[in-house]
């Protein structure tokens, strides 16, 4: 067992955890933030992406212990009350989802992309999403949503 002291969506947590608990399981099972999904558990689909100190990270292959002392943002921390983040709005406007399973990870990843590159080209957006799998949409509207958010 280990103690961690972290901030999640602006709120501080001091928790005792198993040494080997994954960040995604910690967030979903211990903290109750189930917006972060598990699609593959093997670092392929990107459904589990959260931000650690502002950078997108696959939480299915990160130990909770590794983020001790860091600042975590999950999909639940992106909107301000009922006001969706511009990227969430753009996904909504462009029907960039069907079942929605991949959506939290894609949105978190897109936010990170636009923090690092304010005006990515279509190729750069597609390349950035290389670590994501959407089984429904065919990606076209996901790219359109990011382009709308850029505009």
In the complex, the residues that contact ligand FES under the rule CB under 6 A are 38-41, 43-48, 58, 60, 97-102, 134-137
Smallest distance from the beta carbon of 132 to ligand FES, in angstroms?
8
Nearer to ligand FES, 81 or 95 (CB): 95
**CA 142 to the chain's CA centroid:** 15
Nearer to ligand FES, 84 or 101 (CB): 101
Smallest distance from the beta carbon of 74 to ligand FES, in angstroms?
13
Nearer to ligand FES, 97 or 150 (CB): 97
Smallest distance from the beta carbon of 145 to ligand FES, in angstroms?
12
Nearer to ligand FES, 5 or 138 (CB): 138
Smallest distance from the beta carbon of 131 to ligand FES, in angstroms?
7
Relative to beta strand 2-8, strand 71-73 is parallel
Give bridge partners of residue 57 from the DSSP assignment.
Answer: 50
Give bridge partners of residue 16 from the DSSP assignment.
Answer: 3
**CA 92 to the chain's CA centroid:** 16
How many CB atoms neighbour CB 87 within 10 A?
A: 23
How many CB atoms neighbour CB 119 within 10 A?
A: 8
Max Cα–Cα distance, the chain, nearest Å = 47
Nearer to ligand FES, 35 or 100 (CB): 100
Smallest distance from the beta carbon of 130 to ligand FES, in angstroms?
12
Q: Which helix (H) or strand (E) holds 86?
A: helix 86-93
How many CB atoms neighbour CB 22 within 10 A?
A: 22
């Amino acid at each position: 067992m280990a103690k961690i002291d972290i901030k999640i969506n602006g709120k501080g947590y001091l928790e005792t955890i198993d040494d080997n608990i994954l960040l995604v399981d910690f967030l979903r099972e211990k903290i109750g933030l189930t917006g972060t999904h598990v699609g593959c558990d093997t670092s392929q689909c990107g459904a589990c992406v959260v931000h650690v100190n502002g950078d997108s990270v696959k939480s299915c292959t990160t130990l909770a212990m590794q983020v001790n002392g860091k600042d975590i943002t999950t999909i639940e921390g992106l909107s301000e009350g009922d006001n969706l983040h511009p990227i969430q709005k753009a996904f909504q406007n462009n029907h960039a989802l069907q079942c929605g399973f991949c959506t939290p990870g894609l949105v978190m990843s897109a936010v990170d992309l636009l923090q690092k590159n304010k005006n990515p080209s279509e190729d750069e957006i597609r390349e950035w999403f290389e670590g994501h799998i959407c089984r429904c949409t065919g990606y076209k509207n996901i790219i359109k949503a990011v382009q709308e958010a850029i505009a």
